[in-house]
Amino acid sequence: MNEKDFQEILDIGIALSSEHDLSKLLDKILSKAQEVTGADGGSIYLVKKDKMIFKASRNKTLLEKFGPEKMKEIVKTFVIPVTKKSMAGYTVVTGKLLNISDVKNIPSSADYSYDPAFDKKYGYDTVSMLVIPMINRDGEVTGVLQLINSMENGHPVAFKTSHEKIISSFSSQAAISIANAELNEDLKNAHFDTIFRLSEAAECRDKETANHIKRVSHYSRLLSEKLGWSPEACELIFWSSPMHDIGKLGIPDAILQKPGPLTPEERAVMEQHTVIGALVLKDSSIPVIAKSRIVALTHHEKYDGTGYPQKIKGEDIPLEGRIVALADVYDALSSKRVYKPPMPEEKVISILKEGKGTHFDPVLIELLLENMKKIAEIREEFSDKESDYDNFLNIKTIDLKTLLKQER
């Protein structure tokens, strides 16, 4: 490896170690590997026990041919077993790299073979491949970097020995950065899993299903996307909207679960769930909790100032509160509850339209109505099954053996 290559590896190492988001990191690894080797395409598999998960892919020719939208569909994640039969699997099992000048001429005596199904499906012509194991600090293969068609003057040629060397050093840097990003992701997931479960606990007391908060999260994110918010802001409302009713944990059962209408006094107590929620979530420097506090406090305010608890109106209501208010009411109307069947779509729409500018932000109502197809897809994907009601309401029917079985 010459001085230039060494410098390149150092630069790549620095670039990779600064990226903590797993999918952005994988994309960066691929684009750097393409830069260094002139590869037309590449993909990354991550190894999880006896399986390999196809996690990221780039392909210049296919991107030009199909465009970014279709490309997302083409490179959808999938899982394959780790066996020597596939080239990626071979490198995982043996820890050896493969540098193949022409995939069509792999000898039949080799353990692995090339599967032409992808090429056939998308009209691509894979010629050369460089498949390199990504090895972590403990010497374990944790992933595979697979590069396709090293291009020279617009034609695929074989990968060079110098590519093998530089990509091998590069891939160990990548493995370490991936391990760090995965740890980061695990922490983030644990954090969000806790948020969802806590929110579920609050909704469960009110006989809501877990899917209610999932739908509200998705509707809220969709509305924020349509408002043109940044991906980070959309993600933040996705994770903060589940906690809108967390304050119901502090409302007495006699009121929360009372069949029939509430007295004015009981109603006043019930309305306190907004304030209790904000108190539970107050003084946090964690953005998602800070945002949840605003959502919890303001999701029952109405656009004309007749909501609660502060009776603020219009633009004075934080936008995230206005978004979740609409998502929550839409879901309450359009889904089944223990005490009522779902309302027909036309009826839901006419109620929402009636509330335009009085209950709801008129801009948001328009956005919701313009995106009913996407809304229906979310409703469908997270629809409540009878078993969801059983989980909360018929605890006796749950098989304790299955519930208590340790997952390994």
Which residues are identified as catalytic? 248
Q: Are 43 and 56 in contact (CB under 8 A)?
A: yes
Amino acid in position 365? I
Segment contacting Fe ion (CB under 5 A): 101-109, 168-176, 180-188, 328-336? 328-336
Closer residue to Fe ion in complex, CB, 301/328:
328
Give dist(CA 6, CA 222) in Å, integer. 46
Closer residue to Fe ion in complex, CB, 133/321:
321
Shortest separation between residue 335's beta carbon and Fe ion, angstroms: 11
Shortest separation between residue 216's beta carbon and Fe ion, angstroms: 6
Using the 8-state DSSP alphabet, how is residue 229 labeled? -
Q: Does 245 bind Fe ion (CB under 5 A)?
A: yes
Shortest separation between residue 206's beta carbon and Fe ion, angstroms: 8
Shortest separation between residue 281's beta carbon and Fe ion, angstroms: 14
Closer residue to Fe ion in complex, CB, 290/332:
332
Q: Are 170 and 133 in contact (CB under 8 A)?
A: no
Q: Are 348 and 340 in contact (CB under 8 A)?
A: no
Closer residue to Fe ion in complex, CB, 45/330:
330
Q: Does 320 bind Fe ion (CB under 5 A)?
A: no
| Distances, alpha carbon 369 to alpha carbons 202, 219, 238, in Å | 29, 12, 20
Shortest separation between residue 302's beta carbon and Fe ion, angstroms: 13
Strands 78-81 and 98-100, sheet pairing: unpaired
Q: Which long-range contacts (CB under 8 A, 24 or more apart) does 372-377 make?
A: 374/222, 375/219, 375/222, 375/330
Closer residue to Fe ion in complex, CB, 245/320:
245
CA-wise closest residue to 189 among 5, 21, 323: 21
Cross-strand bridge partners of residue 340: 337
Tokens encoding 298? 């303001």
Cross-strand bridge partners of residue 307: none
Q: Which residues have CB under 8 Å from 152's CB, separation 6+?
A: 38
Closer residue to Fe ion in complex, CB, 148/280:
280
Rounded to 10 degrees, the C-alpha dihedral 225/243/281/318 comes to: 40
Shortest separation between residue 273's beta carbon and Fe ion, angstroms: 6
CA-wise closest residue to 313 among 323, 302, 322: 302
Closer residue to Fe ion in complex, CB, 245/384:
245
Closer residue to Fe ion in complex, CB, 8/328:
328
Please report the DSSP string for 273-315 in residue order: HHHHHHHHTTT--SHHHHHHHHHHHHTT--TTS-SSSS---GG
Segment contacting Fe ion (CB under 5 A): 40-48, 108-116, 237-245, 378-386? 237-245
Using the 8-state DSSP alphabet, how is residue 251 labeled? S
Q: How many other C-beta atoms lie within 10 A of the C-beta of residue 406? A: 4
| Distances, alpha carbon 132 to alpha carbons 47, 135, 147, 164, 169, in Å | 13, 9, 8, 8, 10
Segment contacting Fe ion (CB under 5 A): 60-68, 128-136, 176-184, 239-247? 239-247
Query: Total number of residues binding Fe ion (CB under 5 A)?
Result: 2
Residue found under tokens 């083409």: 74
Q: Does 328 bind Fe ion (CB under 5 A)?
A: yes
Give dist(CA 165, CA 5) in Å, integer. 9
Binding site for Fe ion (CB under 5 A): 245, 328
